């Protein structure tokens, strides 16, 4: 592939982040309260880091196009390589429908029409229409570069920065809120035990944050200086995922009243921040639209990768 069509390290990091990073996962992590510290360490040590090490090692050994399908085909033969390729592709049907199901509520929140966003027919229409639009765009344009260079800023980096800045100012103004998901710190709240076992239900969702980090290996042939930059890019992305989720989840968990977390509504903490800081709620509408762009970016990355 000619050098002008190669993607730079920064674009590759953006693509990898696009596969996994989204502020939608922050409420799930925040709902675990102080236990989020143990859960995210567990998810990184026993799920995300091993996958990053394996994909980094195998991608540098086999830098050709194919990713996980190529690795398995090389080790076990064409039949099992086909099985892996099929599983990676077919899981998009339930997986991406789940991700795309947030498009309707996000679009409704953008225009301040929450009932419309929660209408199941509107959600279905958003899933079908937008998924086809993304498919045609990927057929017509190099959406990998668009997503990695521009889309990740609009849909991931800027929303993450907004929610962090608002959360930090809210924390400085009200401190640790006693009725929030965090409340006063104690080690009994950090370590899962019989008293807070209900937080175990969030562990799978927290591990799901890192699902797809290995899929960036399919872009290996397009990456400049791939043998050096792939492993570096994956681990920079992993560190970024941990930081953006951990810090923001702690800030959100502080202000949302205990038992009131809306896991599918990322605009909830933004509205609370606006109330605390005395800011106009239109910020939540703009934020919802940017998260909408982030979900589109994630869908586009998954349409491109497994295909």
pLDDT digits (tens, 9 = 90+) for 226-285: 777 887 888 888 888 888 888 889 999 999 888 888 877 788 899 999 999 999 989 988
Answer whether residue 16 is part of any domain: yes
Burial class of residue 196 (count of CB atoms within 10 Å of its CB; 0-12, 13-18, 19+):
middle
Q: Provide the residue count of the chain.
A: 307
Q: Which residues have CB under 8 Å from 157's CB, separation 6+?
A: none
Please state, in angstroms and as integers, the Cα–Cα distance from residue 229 to each residue in 23, 100, 224, following that order. 26, 31, 7
Inform me whether the pLDDT recorded for 81 exceeds 80. Answer: yes
Inform me whether the pLDDT recorded for 205 exceeds 90. Answer: no
Phi, psi (deg, nearest 5) at residue 90:
-75, -25
Answer whether residue 262 is part of any domain: yes
CA distance 142 to 300: 11
Q: What SS3 class is residue 37? A: helix
Q: Can you give the pLDDT at residue 2?
A: 46
- Residue 170's pLDDT band, with cuts at 50, 70 and 90, is very high
Question: Which value, to the nearest 10 degrees, does the dihedral of the CA atoms of residues 28, 31, 35, 40 take?
Answer: 10
Give a three-class secondary structure readout of 43-55: HHHHHHHHHHHHH
Answer whether residue 38 is part of any domain: yes
- Residue 166's pLDDT band, with cuts at 50, 70 and 90, is very high
- Mean pLDDT along residues 285-293: 85
The mean predicted confidence, pLDDT, of the chain is 80
CA distance 9 to 276: 39
Please state, in angstroms and as integers, the Cα–Cα distance from residue 87 to each residue in 68, 78, 238, 307, following that order. 11, 14, 24, 11
Inform me whether the pLDDT recorded for 1 exceeds 60. Answer: no
What is the greatest pairwise CA distance in the chain? 62
How many C-beta atoms lie closer than 10 Å to residue 5's C-beta? 9
Mean pLDDT is lowest, of 47-51, 78-82, 154-158, for: 154-158
Answer whether residue 98 is part of any domain: no
Answer whether residue 135 is part of any domain: no
14-37 burial, b at 16+ Cβ within 10 Å, e below that, comes to bbbbbbbbbbbbbbbbbbbbbbbb
Q: Can you give the pLDDT at residue 4?
A: 46
Residues 93 and 303: beta-carbon distance below 8 Å: no
Q: What SS3 class is residue 182? A: coil
Q: Can you give the pLDDT at residue 5?
A: 62
Answer whether residue 23 is part of any domain: yes
Mean pLDDT is lowest, of 102-106, 188-192, 245-249, for: 188-192
Answer whether residue 122 is part of any domain: no
Which residue range forms the structural domain that includes residue 33? 3-61+142-304
- Residue 178's pLDDT band, with cuts at 50, 70 and 90, is confident
Q: How many domains does the chain have?
A: 1
Q: Of 200, 241, 259, 260, whose CA–CA distance to 24 is shortest?
A: 241
Q: What SS3 class is residue 7? A: strand
Q: Encode pLDDT of 132-157 as tens digits.
A: 888 887 777 766 556 555 666 777 77
CA distance 252 to 170: 10
Residues 54 and 290: beta-carbon distance below 8 Å: no
CA distance 129 to 55: 34
- Mean pLDDT along residues 115-126: 85
Answer whether residue 194 is part of any domain: yes
């Amino acid at each position: 592939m000619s050098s002008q069509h190669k993607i730079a390290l920064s674009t590759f990091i953006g693509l990898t982040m696009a596969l996994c990073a989204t502020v939608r996962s922050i409420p799930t992590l925040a709902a675990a309260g102080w236990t989020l510290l143990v859960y995210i360490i567990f998810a990184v040590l026993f799920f995300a880091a091993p996958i990053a090490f394996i994909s980094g090692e195998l991608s540098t050994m086999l830098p050709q196009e194919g990713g996980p399908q190529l690795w398995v085909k090389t080790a076990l033969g064409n039949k099992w390589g086909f099985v892996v390729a099929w599983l990676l592709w077919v899981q998009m049907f339930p997986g991406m429908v789940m991700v795309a199901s947030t498009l309707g509520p996000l679009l409704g929140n953008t225009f301040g029409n929450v009932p419309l966003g929660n209408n199941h027919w509107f959600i279905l229409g958003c899933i079908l229409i937008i998924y086809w639009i993304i498919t045609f765009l990927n057929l017509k344009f190099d959406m990998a570069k668009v997503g990695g260079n521009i889309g990740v800023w609009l849909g991931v980096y800027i929303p993450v920065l907004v929610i962090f800045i608002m959360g930090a100012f809210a924390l400085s103004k009200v401190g640790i809120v006693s009725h929030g998901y965090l409340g006063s710190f104690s080690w009994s709240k950090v370590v899962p035990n019989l008293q807070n076992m209900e937080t175990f239900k969030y562990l799978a969702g927290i591990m799901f944050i890192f699902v797809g980090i290995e899929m960036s290996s399919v872009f290996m042939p397009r990456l400049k200086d791939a043998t050096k930059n792939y492993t570096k890019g994956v681990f920079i992305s992993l560190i970024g995922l941990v930081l953006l989720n951990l810090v923001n989840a702690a800030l959100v968990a502080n202000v949302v009243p205990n038992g009131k977390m809306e896991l599918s509504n990322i605009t909830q903490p933004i509205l609370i921040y606006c109330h605390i800081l005395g800011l106009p709620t239109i910020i939540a509408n703009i934020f919802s639209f940017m998260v909408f762009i982030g979900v589109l970016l994630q869908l586009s990355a998954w349409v491109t990768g497994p295909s």
